[in-house]
Structure 1
Amino acid sequence: MRRPLPRRGTAAFAISALLLPVLAACGSSDDKSGESPAKTGESAKKGSGDELVIYSGRNEELISPIIAKLEKATGTKVQVRYGDSAELAAQILEEGDRTKAGLFFSQDAGALGALSQAKMLAKLPEGSLNKVDAAYRGGEGDWVGVSGRSRVIAYNPKKTEKAPDSIHELTKPAWKDKVGYAPTNASFQAFVTGMRVLEGDETTLKWLKGLKANGAKTYAKNGAVLDAVDKGEVTLGLINHYYWYEKVAEVGADKVTAKIHFLPGGDPGALINAAGVGVLKDGGQQAAAEKAVDYLLSNEAQTYFAEGTKEYPLAAGVTSTVQGLPALDSLDAPKIDLGKLESLQKTLDLLKEAGMV
């Protein structure tokens, strides 16, 4: 399934930051999410016991099939308001205890972290939380990851035998004018936020300036970065893992020159981020929302995300069947509280200081 391309990037984060500082312009939009302006097929309103209003930062084309299955499995009538995750989180914060949302389905852990910080999310049942490793759920027990994606380095084997093992190598002369990246894309910005959390603002800013000074080429989207690597326009590219697996599924492995490298050693460039869900405390739909959470962690829903989006299923007992995809527990990702990715406004400030946005 080839994801529709996004219509929002940095602007969405900036808007969110202006709406409420605590949101800190949390990262949400990703190439795969294809967020469109917030919309709903019916007027969103507080649901009753058998109704649920979902604010979804995940693309309608991507998740509408699973929403239909959710309705059938839970016997719950669902209304969905689609939009950019950061903007929807800001909307929930603005609505406060008047929120119309019962469930927030975010493309990015940062937006969930912002709502958790604002005490907008209800504690989830232990049975739901325990289905997912602690690394992919909120520290306050109020949100849980549904699917995961790893940052990787794409490389062209005709131009280099192997990719470097750290993003810190990319500022060295050996890679001058050979790296592609998408600085206005949310997944890159979430990675930079993770690097800030792990290594500090000073080190991160120095790396950003070094990458730019080393002639790294900018692209609008992760898919464009991968295409550039595949064509040999650049040697290396910073992307999420699923772009490569989707391209292979779409055109065939024999038609894809690029390869990808999962970075070792807990490198910041190996960040695993999560799309996830949280139940709104003030939405008046807690029972229905908790049923939806459990369904999204069910074998059926987890298999849908694994096969349809090439993401990692996060619920215990469900493994990806995507050929060649390393097991999630085999990856050497950095240890980080994903909720802290909500501090993206500072990331935007650093990107501006580095002359990248």
Structure 2
Amino acid sequence: MIALRPAAIATAALAALTLSACSAADDGTSPTPGTSSDSAAVADDAFTLYAGRDQELIDPLIEQFESETGVSVDVRYAGSTELAALLLEEGDATPAGVFLAQDAGALGAVAKADMFATLPESITETVPAGFTSTDGSWVGVTGRARVVVYDSDQLSADEVPTTVAALTDEQWSSEVGIAPTNASFQSFVTALRVLEGEDVAQAWLEDMEANDVQIYAKNTPILEAANAGEIQLGLINHYYWYRMAAEVGADNMRAQLAFPEAGDAGGIVNVTGAGLLSGAADDADALRFIEYLVSESAQQYFVDTTFEYPLIDGVAAPEGLPALETLTNPELDLSDLDSLGETTDLLVSVGLL
């Protein structure tokens, strides 16, 4: 398994997301798996996976898949945004059969370049509308709620802001943590742009920087900082708290979670998801892996190991989480989070990347 370690952070990689689709499919079409006119579905017991999720989380699932199926998976790890940029650069020459991404935005950028084959309905219909693509280009795998983490020693629950707009207030100066290079944060900013407009998103970022927002590389350091009382508030995904609570015990944590009010961009439910690259449209092994991701076995793995929301019927969410339907924003189509290039340009322009 190969871990990609791009030398440049999101700025250089994300520039590729603004490339035209000419670096991908030339005819703008995406074949359906198994329906190519000149080849039938083939299986050689191996395929290449580009994985935009943490290796320590995904390796056990891949090993489980390999053990159950006999299919060998060559995995290349990097951030979802970097891998999306790499796919656009590689175009038809990519060795990837499947792209497993941390967020819908990265998947949307690749889909926008017509690089995904259309998935069969037997896969896409297992996931409710609103948590998958609208055109069958990729399928949602797990749900990830954006939340506010807070230091409960410094703040009571009713003192925690319930909107991201409130975080720009002077009282939170130097007390809020964010991770601008993180794909989930970038998808949140994209959602803010989509829901509230470009001007509102830019003003929010500028106001946050002016309010001495604290910058972290990832979600986990934000959670740890809140738990240590170094900051009062932070923007993270929900499951980071649940992972720490499982390790140290919820009663031993200062950091607690608050879910933003319904409809606020700061509380969007994003998804991890997977798409089948057009060049692997007839690769039965690659398609089998995507089927596996939305199987009961894999969904239960995500619940038990990563504390994310399952997206298929018959698998219960981790205990203590609010019902998924209470968190979704009917005004937001996850397919609209594909403008990552514009988001990173904005983050660069305000000095946060």
Distance 2:278 2:214 in 1: 44
Quick check: 327-336 or 179-188, which moved more? 327-336
1:54 to 35, 49, 54: 49
The two structures have a TM-score, normalised by structure 1, of: 0.84
- Paired with 2:90 and 2:224, the residues of 1 have a C-alpha distance of 41
Is there any run of 5+ residues in structure 1 with no aligned partner, and where? 1-5, 25-46
Correspondence 1:330 to 2:317: no
Q: Aligned partners of 2:179, 2:83: CA distance in 1, in Å?
A: 23
Contact 1:16 1:23 in 2 (8 A): no
**Contact 1:9 1:186 (C-alpha < 8 Å) held by counterparts:** no
Confirm or deny: 8 A CA contact 2:163 2:266 kept in the other structure.
yes
Matches of residues 225-304 of structure 1 in structure 2 within 5 Å? 225-283=222-280, 285-304=282-301
Q: Is the 8 A contact 1:52 1:285 kept in 2?
A: no
Task: Name the CA distance, whole Å, in 2 between partners of 1:145 and 1:210.
Answer: 33
Q: What secondary structure sits across from 1:220 in the alignment?
A: coil
Aligned-residue identity in percent: 46
Residue 51 to residue 353, structure 1, CA distance change in 2 (3 Å): closer
Q: Using the TM superposition, give the Cα deviation of residue 75 of structure 1 relative to its aligned residue in structure 2, in angstroms.
A: 4.0
The change in CA–CA distance for 1:217 and 1:330 in structure 2 (over 3 A counts) is same
State the partner residue of 2:105.
110
Contact 1:23-1:89 within 8 A present in 2 as well? no
Secondary structure of 1:189's counterpart equals helix
In structure 1, the residue matched to 2:340 is: 344
Can you list the C-alpha shifts for 1:289-310, whole angstroms capped at 9, x where unaligned?
2221111111110011111111
Q: How many residues are matched?
A: 329
Partner deviation per Cα, 1:318-343 (whole Å, 9 max, x = no partner): 122x3322222232446422233232
> Take 2:48 and 2:71, find their aligned partners in 1: how far apart are those partners?
10
**In 2, Cα distance between equivalents of 1:294 and 1:15:** 33
CA distance in 2, matches of 1:87, 1:273: 18
Is 1:137 the counterpart of 2:132? The answer is yes
The range that moved more, 309-318 or 87-96, is 87-96
Deviates more, 1:125-134 or 1:81-90: 81-90
**Partner letter of residue 299 of structure 1?**
E
Q: Distance in 1 between matches of 2:228 and 2:221?
A: 11
Match of residue 312, structure 1, among 309, 313, 320? 309
Q: Which amino acid aligns with 1:94?
A: E
> Among 126, 142, 151, which residue is 1:147 paired with?
142
Report if aligned partners of 1:245, 1:310 keep a CA contact under 8 Å in 2: yes
Distance verdict in 2 for CA 1:13–1:234, change over 3 Å = closer
**Amino acid aligned to 1:347:** T
Partner Cα distance (2:348, 2:168) in 1: 18
Question: Is residue 21 of structure 1 aligned with residue 21 of structure 2?
Answer: no
Distance in 2 between the 1:130 and 1:188 partners?
Answer: 28
Deviation per residue, 1:85-141 (Å, 9 max, x gap): 233333333333333222111122222111211111111111211111111111211
Deviation at 1:274, TM superposition (A): 1.2
Q: Which runs of 5 or more residues in structure 2 are unaligned?
A: 22-41
The question of 1:191 aligning with 2:188 is answered yes
User: Amino acid of the residue matched to residue 160 of structure 1?
Assistant: L
Question: 2:231 is paired with a residue of what secondary structure?
Answer: coil
Q: Verify the 8 A CA contact 2:4 2:78 in the aligned structure 1.
A: no
Aligned residue type for 1:311: E
Deviation at 1:175, TM superposition (A): 2.6
| Distance in 1 of aligned mates of 2:330 and 2:223 | 23
TM-score (norm 2): 0.85
User: 1:263 touches 1:332 (CA, 8 Å); kept in 2?
Assistant: no
